[in-house]
């Protein structure tokens, strides 16, 4: 079952005896566990029938013992095991997985890890029809835009195209950060305003309106040396400045610019957007880059970005500050 299907079934009251939630994306795991917790019991039933445990402090033999017990004055009992990746002897649960207690809902949050597919525990779970065995995968960069737009729509809001790109470039694919930022924006907008703008994102994420990596990228795209140098000077003196963030943003742009340069039908905006996996609104940014940079130069820039990203992390660099590295990098890109 997909994440959306699991959430939908739980809200309908179709709650399974076992939820084993594993994988790299904690947001989906937490959301499923939270939804099950909300719908499995009434408020009156929670006092005697809800138990929250933590993997590091939980003995699996005791967990099985508790799971076999019957609820008190309710249809079911709920046991949530958080941080279950820290459970010792998880294989002890295999026998319980074979024959779960129908009146128990056992939710196991196994974050940032996966069960070994070669184990009996995995085989038993994957074959158990009464278990929801969910693998929580991180979203790829090219999936983030649609996910953000869907989430914002569910919040009753809309967002400017460039504001969406700003969220993605600045926050990456960490859904928890993205959700927290959108919820923060929702509060900041108030009840009247319904559209998130670039200014809203910059203000609430803490991005300077003029001196930020995105304005620097635009200046470099336009080969505006004066503006680029002014932004570099401001960024290099900022306490919040981090070169890896900038190299990641630039790498995303120039790698797509390279695809655009060798794309045969540059005048077909829709086709270019599909090829580059971008919103059609941003195709003009690549047209401008194409006017100022040729294929060989873009290839050299991509190599520079890799080099300076490594230097910013201490590889091949002992004493040069990140600010000075940024100055060097931008100078080499523009000249």
pLDDT at 332: 96
Instruction: For residue 213, give both structure tokens.
Output: 């990596």
In which order are the strands placed within the sheet that holds 131-136? 50-54, 77-82, 104-111, 18-23, 131-136
If one counts every other C-beta atom within 10 angstroms of the C-beta of residue 188, the result is 12
**Cα gap 146→169, rounded to integer Å:** 14
Instruction: For residue 19, give both structure tokens.
Output: 């939820």
Percent above pLDDT 70 for the chain: 100
Burial of 266 per CB tally in 10 Å (0-12, 13-18, 19+): middle
pLDDT (tens digit, 9 = 90+) per residue, 225-252? 999 999 999 888 877 678 888 998 899 9
3-state secondary structure 258-310: HHHHCCCCCCCHHHHHHHHCCCHHHHHHHHHHHHHCCHHHHHHHHHHHHHHHH
Mean pLDDT of 322-327: 92
Mean pLDDT of 320-332: 93
Of the candidates 297, 295, 299, the one whose C-alpha atom is nearest the C-alpha of residue 263 is 295
Mean pLDDT of 317-321: 84
* CB 78 within 8 Å of CB 41: yes
Which residues, in sequence order, are bridge partners of residue 77?
Answer: 104
Mean pLDDT of 139-160: 91
Q: Is the pLDDT of residue 211 over 90?
A: no
Of the candidates 79, 20, 68, 19, the one whose C-alpha atom is nearest the C-alpha of residue 46 is 79
E-strand stretches of the chain:
18-23, 50-54, 77-82, 104-111, 131-136, 158-159, 195-196
pLDDT (tens digit, 9 = 90+) per residue, 106-146? 999 999 999 999 999 999 999 999 999 999 999 988 888 89
Segment among 47-51, 196-200, 277-281, 310-314 with least mean pLDDT? 277-281
Segment among 31-40, 186-195, 198-207 with least mean pLDDT? 198-207
The CA R_g of the chain, rounded to the nearest whole Å, is 25
pLDDT at 320: 87
pLDDT band at 57 (very low <50, low <70, confident <90, very high): very high
Predicted TM-score (pTM) of the model is 0.76
pLDDT at 278: 85
Residues in the chain: 335
Q: C-alpha angle 24/33/114, rounded to 5°?
A: 30
E-strand stretches of 137-282:
158-159, 195-196
pLDDT (tens digit, 9 = 90+) per residue, 212-223? 888 899 999 999
Cα 288 to Cα 15, 257, 282, 334: the distances in Å are 53, 10, 10, 15
DSSP class of residue 319 equals S
Instruction: For residue 262, give both structure tokens.
Output: 């060798």
């Amino acid at each position: 079952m997909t994440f959306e299907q699991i959430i939908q079934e739980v809200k309908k009251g179709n709650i399974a005896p076992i939820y084993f939630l594993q994988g790299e994306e904690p947001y989906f795991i937490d959301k499923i566990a939270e939804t099950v917790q909300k719908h499995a019991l009434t408020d009156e039933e929670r006092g005697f029938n809800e138990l929250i445990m933590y993997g590091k402090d939980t003995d699996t033999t005791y967990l099985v013992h508790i799971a076999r017990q019957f609820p008190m004055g309710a249809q079911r009992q709920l046991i949530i095991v958080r941080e279950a990746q820290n459970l010792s002897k998880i294989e002890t649960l295999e026998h319980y997985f074979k024959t779960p207690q129908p009146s128990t809902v056992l939710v196991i949050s196994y974050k940032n890890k996966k069960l070994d597919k070669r184990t009996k525990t995995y085989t038993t779970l994957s074959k158990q029809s009464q278990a929801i065995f969910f693998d929580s995968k991180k979203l790829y960069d090219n999936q983030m835009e649609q996910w953000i737009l869907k989430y914002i729509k569910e919040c009753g809001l809309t967002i400017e195209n460039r504001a969406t790109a700003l969220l993605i470039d600045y926050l990456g694919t960490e859904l928890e950060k993205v959700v927290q930022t959108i919820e923060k924006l929702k509060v900041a907008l108030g009840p009247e305003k319904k559209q998130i703008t670039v200014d809203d994102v910059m203000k609430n994420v803490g991005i300077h309106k003029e001196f930020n990596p995105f304005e620097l990228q635009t200046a470099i795209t336009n080969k505006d040396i004066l503006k680029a140098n002014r932004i570099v000077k401001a960024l290099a003196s900022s306490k919040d400045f981090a070169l890896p963030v900038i190299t990641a943003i630039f790498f995303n742009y120039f790698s797509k610019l390279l695809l655009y340069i060798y794309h045969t039908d540059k005048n077909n905006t829709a086709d270019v957007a599909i090829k580059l996996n971008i919103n059609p609104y941003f195709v003009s940014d690549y047209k401008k880059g194409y006017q100022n940079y040729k294929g060989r130069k873009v290839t050299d820039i991509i190599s520079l970005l890799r080099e300076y990203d490594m230097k910013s992390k201490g590889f091949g660099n002992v004493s040069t500050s990140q600010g000075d590295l940024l100055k060097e990098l931008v100078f080499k890109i523009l000249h």
